[in-house]
Amino acid sequence: MATPTPSLTRLDAPGTPGSVILMLHGGKPRSHDLVDNRSASWQRSAWMARAIEGRAHEAGASVWLLRYRERGWNGGGDRTEDARAALDEVRAAHGRVSVVLLGHSMGARVAVHVADHPSVTGVVALAPWWSEADPVRRLAGRTLIAAHGRRDRITSFTHTRRFVERARSVATSAELVDMGMLGHYMLGRADRWNEVAVESSLRILAPGTRTPTD
């Protein structure tokens, strides 16, 4: 049986893109199931990618969506490998453009573990799955914007607030967007989630933010 490989859906801006929003979808704490088109976590991010594509392209940013090899975090090693491979592929395709990692739930956890990649300018985290064990040091010199709803019963608004507070010690800036009485899956008020996702990503990528270095 062939070893599964991560894959990318590329929604490239016309011409030469000036930046890339790399989306990282959610998953499960433990699962070796392959991620296919029936994966609800992948589908949610795919819907968002299509929803934000137009606004991103107007700003000269491509939108790429990573599909992991497997659904589970499984200790993190394989998922961070997937994400770093995707970041290397962005650099191979477009050179040293700035990249924002846009992660939902487990995807936000993956994002903060790979934020030290030289292409990454910042992280936008939607309903992130974070704990006290997750590091903030890889956000040094980057920007973090996290958005969380108070009706989330899957991940914790409180843990997100604490992570953002810790990140302020190393990040260029770190802020929490209170999504009010919204839940985890970004289905209620999807328009609001989409707005926060794209506007936060483009704000990080705006002129004057950090230029990636080798």
| 1 falls within a domain | no
pLDDT of residue 37: 85
Comparison of pLDDT for 50 and 36, the residue scoring more: 50
| 199 falls within a domain | yes
| 214 falls within a domain | no
- Within 10 angstroms of residue 206's Cβ, the number of other Cβ atoms is 12
Q: Any idea which of 2-16, 45-59, 133-147 has the lowest mean pLDDT?
A: 2-16
Contact 101, 113 (CB under 8 A): no
User: Does 11 have pLDDT greater than 60?
Assistant: yes
132-164 pLDDT, tens digit each: 999 999 999 999 999 999 999 999 999 999 999
Mean pLDDT (whole number) for 1-25: 88
- Structural domain total, the chain: 1
Strands 7-11 and 143-148: unpaired
Mean pLDDT (whole number) for 183-211: 88
Alpha-carbon distance of 67 to 83, in angstroms, equals 9
Give the model's confidence band at 201: pLDDT under 50 very low, under 70 low, under 90 confident, else very high: very high
| 61 falls within a domain | yes
Give the pTM: 0.95
Q: What is the CATH number of the domain that holds 170?
A: 3.40.50.1820
| 81 falls within a domain | yes
List C-alpha distances in Å: 55 to 65, 83, 121, 158, 164.
16, 24, 19, 31, 27
166-189 pLDDT, tens digit each: 999 999 999 999 999 999 999 989
| 210 falls within a domain | no
| 146 falls within a domain | yes
pLDDT of residue 3: 54
Nearby residues of 209 by Cβ (< 8 Å), 6 or more positions away: 98, 121, 122, 143
| 51 falls within a domain | yes
- Within 10 angstroms of residue 150's Cβ, the number of other Cβ atoms is 12
* Domain range for 160: 7-205
Strands 7-11 and 61-67: antiparallel
